[in-house]
Structure 1
């Protein structure tokens, strides 16, 4: 492995980043890279290093991103390189096997709102070994004294993103449970276009219908809104903040484990 690439990966892991290390472990015949060649695929799709370029590298990159999304363990990828696949490029005719190792890949639950539900969810999510972040613009709510189990962020909403206090990627599960529907809408507007695995918003069906209408009028795309989980959480007739938190975490775990979420949420009818 290239020492400079190893140093870069270690640095990013120390800073809480994640990715997949792709290493050539078998190289037979004429192949673009020798044993030990490495590429680092970040969760945002950017890469460092190369395992040979071309269609093969593109396929491996796509596979790495999918592994991050579903929390896959290490996998091997075999590529048979033929002359026909190398038109316009250097001609290879061999077999390359790539080891894909996810590093630092763990789902993160990002909670917007440190009220009763946000507090309860932060507690059980941390107990379930999830990396958890709680944001609230009120310092008296989002602080290490009140929420000692996980990272807290207290600042104006815009600063949370612009100053890097909160960063989202394909392994981020975002929960919006702020102090009111106006702030919920502001959070959703700020989240449009950002990478995440899940976005759920609290609210009754009446509130949800009104929110969707207002957000569409504000310019939020219907495609983005159709991807929201509203009402948030599985339909278990939850009432207390703790019960609602359990329903939310169960839904997130179901997403991660590949459960049939559509069937589990079917009592909601037309509401996803």
Structure 2
């Protein structure tokens, strides 16, 4: 999928106003993760998706009101178990959605997004901050700021300086959030340009993989539900180690986007299937799952009996890694790392 900021840049260049839909919060098995965006044009065509089905259709219908009066909408959606299938989910959940009008005649708004695209092209990490004031009906360009590790862009406003201070205190670990303080609401959106590898499972093969992915300049995140495996002693160089209560509701803990590489090497079929089922709902650039063809077929057939289709399954690299007749943990890790490089370079070559 085309980068959402590139689409925004194109629309701004064409001076085409649009509605930007953003999932502020989610719980349960809602169709897409927090931070997912979708653009709705004046002809009600869309770029991106927030989950499809009835949820998306209702959101598009609501955008007509936003186009009409330019007022933002924050709406809560609650999905019953019975209706979840129509939303691309296997069970119920809830979502808080923001629909905001992006006005191409608003100089501050346009300059903010132009700056965002400029930073992305340079590979500079930044955080986009939007104030959503409860006592107003509009989100204007003066309500948006960009914060980098060392810079600040936007209209000066002393009232939000505490937000920027909090961001800079732990800049590299800022996560998407919709926060409320005593005076206002703020949408905090990190736009980090590094590629992330999520290693699902913290066994002996994962230790070898983590060493290689760090060497390849991936931000390396290891996840497991066993603290005796997922710890700093075993993964000294990983950027982040996450101990989960379980692999269920994984996407409530991590944000996987189109710069993410997911390696599924948990301790068994059940956990692998649990992870794969959730990761297929994301825009992950790479999804690889360890296992034999027999295991692969079992997992695939199980998913195909649910809401998944063959195109979903075709995204998965399984058996994982390039075919080099790898046998030892070190050799398997090398084959996986080589496959990551192949995918990474194929994307680069497409852009040239």
**TM over 0.5: same fold?**
yes
1:19·1:104 contact (CA, 8 Å) conserved in 2? no
* Matching residue within 193, 202, 205 for 2:281: 193
TM-score (norm 1): 0.59
The question of 1:52 aligning with 2:52 is answered: no
The question of 1:158 aligning with 2:248 is answered: yes
Alignment partner of 1:246: what SS? helix
Task: Quote how far apart the aligned CAs of 1:107 are.
Answer: 1.0
* Distance (whole Å) between structure 2 residues aligned to residue 135 and residue 193 of structure 1: 18
Higher RCO, 1 vs 2 (CA within 8 Å, ≥6 residues apart):
1
* Distance (whole Å) between structure 1 residues aligned to residue 261 and residue 314 of structure 2: 16
Partner of 2:300: 212
Q: Which stretches of structure 1, 4 residues or more, deviate above 6 A after TM superposition?
A: 21-24, 46-51
Gap runs ≥5 in structure 2: 17-34, 40-99, 124-190
Task: Quote how far apart the aligned CAs of 1:209 are.
Answer: 1.7
Partner of 2:48: none
* Distance (whole Å) between structure 2 residues aligned to residue 19 and residue 106 of structure 1: 16
Partner of 1:4: none
Alignment partner of 1:184: what SS? helix
Gap runs ≥5 in structure 1: 1-17, 25-30, 34-42, 75-102, 262-272
Number of equivalenced pairs? 192
Deviation by residue 1:127-178 (Cα, 9 ceiling, x = unmatched): 222101111111111112221212111111235422x3x1101100001011
The question of 1:230 aligning with 2:318 is answered: yes
Partner of 1:168: 256
Task: Quote how far apart the aligned CAs of 1:195 are.
Answer: 1.8
Deviation by residue 1:22-44 (Cα, 9 ceiling, x = unmatched): 999xxxxxx969xxxxxxxxx95
* Matching residue within 210, 223, 228 for 1:135: 223
Q: 1:243 to 1:73 in 2, by over 3 A?
A: farther
* Distance (whole Å) between structure 1 residues aligned to residue 251 and residue 341 of structure 2: 26
Deviation by residue 1:219-262 (Cα, 9 ceiling, x = unmatched): 4332211211111110011111111111111111111111899x
Q: 1:230 to 1:23 in 2, by over 3 A?
A: closer
Q: 1:211 to 1:23 in 2, by over 3 A?
A: closer
Partner of 1:78: none
TM-score (norm 2): 0.46
* Distance (whole Å) between structure 2 residues aligned to residue 260 and residue 215 of structure 1: 31
Counterparts in 2 of 1:4-153, with a 5 A limit? Answer: 44-45=36-37, 52=104, 104-150=192-238, 151-153=240-242
1:254·1:260 contact (CA, 8 Å) conserved in 2? no
Q: 1:244 to 1:20 in 2, by over 3 A?
A: same
Deviation by residue 1:9-55 (Cα, 9 ceiling, x = unmatched): xxxxxxxxx9969999xxxxxx969xxxxxxxxx95569996938xx
RMSD: 4.0
